[in-house]
A and B are shown apart, each in its own frame.
Chain A
Amino acid sequence: MTSVAADHALEVINLKKAFGGLAVTQNVSLTIRPGERRLIIGPNGAGKTTLFNQISGDMRPNSGQIKLFGNDVTTLAPYQRAHRGLSRTYQIITLFAGDTLEHNVTLGLLGLRPSRWQMWRPLAFYSDLATEARRTLDAVGLLHLADHPISEIAYGEKRRVELAMALAQKPRVLLLDEPLAGLSDTERSTVKSLIASISRETAVIMIEHDMDTALDLAETVTLLNYGRVIVDGERDTVIADERTREVYLGV
Chain B
Amino acid sequence: MKWIAAALLAVALVLLPFFAGDFYVNLASQMLIAAIFALSLNLLVGYGGMTSLGHASYLGVAAYMSALLTSRYGWGHGASAVFSILGTTAMAGFFGVIALRATGLGFLMITLALSQVLWGLAYRMSGVTNGDNGIGGLTRPMPFGISLDSAAAFYWFALIVASFSFLMMTVFAASSFGSSLKGVRDQPRRMAALGFNPWMIRWITFVYAGFWGGVSGLLYVYYNKYIHPTSLSTTSSAEALLGVIAGGSGTAAGPAVGAALVLLLKNYVSAYLDRWNMLLGAVFVFIVLVMPTGIVPGLTKLLQRRPR
A–B in direct contact per CB < 8 Å: yes
State whether A79 and B192 are in contact (beta carbons under 8 Å apart), knowing that A96-B183, A96-B186, A120-B171 are contacts in the complex: yes
Distance A110 CA – B198 CA, assembled complex (angstroms): 14
Interface-centre pick from B194, B196, B208 (highest chain A CB count, 10 A): B194
Q: Do A78 and B192 have beta carbons less than 8 Å apart?
A: yes
State whether A82 and B194 are in contact (beta carbons under 8 Å apart), knowing that A107-B183, A119-B172, A120-B171 are contacts in the complex: yes
- Among B1-9, B174-182, B294-302, the one that faces the other chain is B174-182
| A108 part of interface (Cβ distance < 8 Å) | yes
Q: Do B195 and A123 have beta carbons less than 8 Å apart?
A: no
Query: In the complex, what's the smallest C-beta–C-beta distance from B180 to chain A, in angstroms?
Result: 5
Q: Do B175 and A122 have beta carbons less than 8 Å apart?
A: yes
**Chain A residue with the shortest CB-CB distance to B205:** A119
Q: Do B176 and A123 have beta carbons less than 8 Å apart?
A: yes
Please tell me the size bucket of the interface on B.
20 to 34
Using an 8 Å CB-CB cutoff, how does the interface string of B181-199 with A read, 1 for contact, 0 for none?
Answer: 0010011011111111110
| A112 part of interface (Cβ distance < 8 Å) | yes
Q: Which of A123, A126, A165 contacts B174 (CB 8 A)?
A: A123
Distance A99 CA – B100 CA, assembled complex (angstroms): 26
List, in ascending order, chain B residues with CB within 8 A of A112's CB: 194-195
Q: Do A110 and B179 have beta carbons less than 8 Å apart?
A: yes
List, in ascending order, chain A residues with CB within 8 A of B177's CB: 116-119
Distance A90 CA – B175 CA, assembled complex (angstroms): 27
Query: In the complex, what's the smallest C-beta–C-beta distance from B149 to chain A, in angstroms?
Result: 35
| A7 part of interface (Cβ distance < 8 Å) | no
List, in ascending order, chain B residues with CB within 8 A of A110's CB: 176, 179-180, 194, 196
Q: Which of A57, A77, A121, A169 contacts B175 (CB 8 A)?
A: A121
State whether A94 and B189 are in contact (beta carbons under 8 Å apart), knowing that A107-B183, A119-B175 are contacts in the complex: yes
| A83 part of interface (Cβ distance < 8 Å) | yes
**Chain A residue with the shortest CB-CB distance to B180:** A116
Distance A79 CA – B187 CA, assembled complex (angstroms): 13
Q: Do B196 and A116 have beta carbons less than 8 Å apart?
A: yes
Please tell me the size bucket of the interface on A.
35 or more
List, in ascending order, chain B residues with CB within 8 A of A98's CB: 186
State whether A118 and B195 are in contact (beta carbons under 8 Å apart), knowing that A58-B189, A96-B183 are contacts in the complex: no
| A213 part of interface (Cβ distance < 8 Å) | no
Q: Do B176 and A77 have beta carbons less than 8 Å apart?
A: no
Interface-centre pick from B179, B190, B208 (highest chain A CB count, 10 A): B190
Q: Do B187 and A96 have beta carbons less than 8 Å apart?
A: yes
Using an 8 Å CB-CB cutoff, how does the interface string of B205-223 with A read, 1 for contact, 0 for none?
Answer: 0001000000000000000
List, in ascending order, chain B residues with CB within 8 A of A116's CB: 176-177, 180, 195-196
Distance A152 CA – B118 CA, assembled complex (angstroms): 47
Distance A123 CA – B171 CA, assembled complex (angstroms): 10
Distance A249 CA – B179 CA, assembled complex (angstroms): 49
List, in ascending order, chain A residues with CB within 8 A of B196's CB: 79, 110-111, 116
State whether A121 and B176 are in contact (beta carbons under 8 Å apart), knowing that A77-B197, A96-B183, A96-B187 are contacts in the complex: yes
| A115 part of interface (Cβ distance < 8 Å) | yes
| A88 part of interface (Cβ distance < 8 Å) | yes
Interface-centre pick from B176, B186, B187 (highest chain A CB count, 10 A): B176
Distance A78 CA – B193 CA, assembled complex (angstroms): 5
Query: In the complex, what's the smallest C-beta–C-beta distance from B56 to chain A, in angstroms?
Result: 25
Q: Do A108 and B194 have beta carbons less than 8 Å apart?
A: yes
Query: In the complex, what's the smallest C-beta–C-beta distance from B150 to chain A, in angstroms?
Result: 35
| A56 part of interface (Cβ distance < 8 Å) | yes
| A87 part of interface (Cβ distance < 8 Å) | yes
Q: Do B194 and A169 have beta carbons less than 8 Å apart?
A: yes
State whether A118 and B176 are in contact (beta carbons under 8 Å apart), knowing that A96-B183, A107-B183 are contacts in the complex: yes
Using an 8 Å CB-CB cutoff, how does the interface string of A89-113 with B read, 1 for contact, 0 for none?
Answer: 0100011111000010011101110
Using an 8 Å CB-CB cutoff, how does the interface string of A142-161 with B read, 1 for contact, 0 for none?
Answer: 00000000000000000000
Distance A49 CA – B294 CA, assembled complex (angstroms): 40
Query: In the complex, what's the smallest C-beta–C-beta distance from A79 to chain B, in angstroms?
Result: 5
List, in ascending order, chain B residues with CB within 8 A of A123's CB: 174-176, 178-179
Q: Do A169 and B195 have beta carbons less than 8 Å apart?
A: yes
Query: In the complex, what's the smallest C-beta–C-beta distance from B57 to chain A, in angstroms?
Result: 23
Distance A120 CA – B190 CA, assembled complex (angstroms): 24
Distance A126 CA – B73 CA, assembled complex (angstroms): 48
List, in ascending order, chain A residues with CB within 8 A of B171's CB: 119-120, 122
Query: In the complex, what's the smallest C-beta–C-beta distance from B305 to chain A, in angstroms?
Result: 19
State whether A77 and B172 are in contact (beta carbons under 8 Å apart), knowing that A107-B179, A116-B180, A123-B178 are contacts in the complex: no
Sample 24 A-B pairs with CB under 8 A, ordered by A number.
A77-B197, A78-B189, A78-B193, A79-B192, A79-B193, A79-B194, A79-B196, A95-B187, A97-B186, A107-B183, A107-B191, A107-B194, A116-B177, A117-B180, A118-B175, A121-B176, A122-B174, A122-B176, A123-B175, A123-B176, A123-B178, A123-B179, A125-B176, A169-B195
Interface, chain A (partner B; CB < 8 A)? 56-58, 77-79, 82-83, 87-88, 90, 94-98, 103, 106-108, 110-112, 115-123, 125-126, 165, 169
Closest 6 CB pairs of A and B: A111-B195, A111-B194, A82-B195, A78-B192, A119-B177, A94-B190
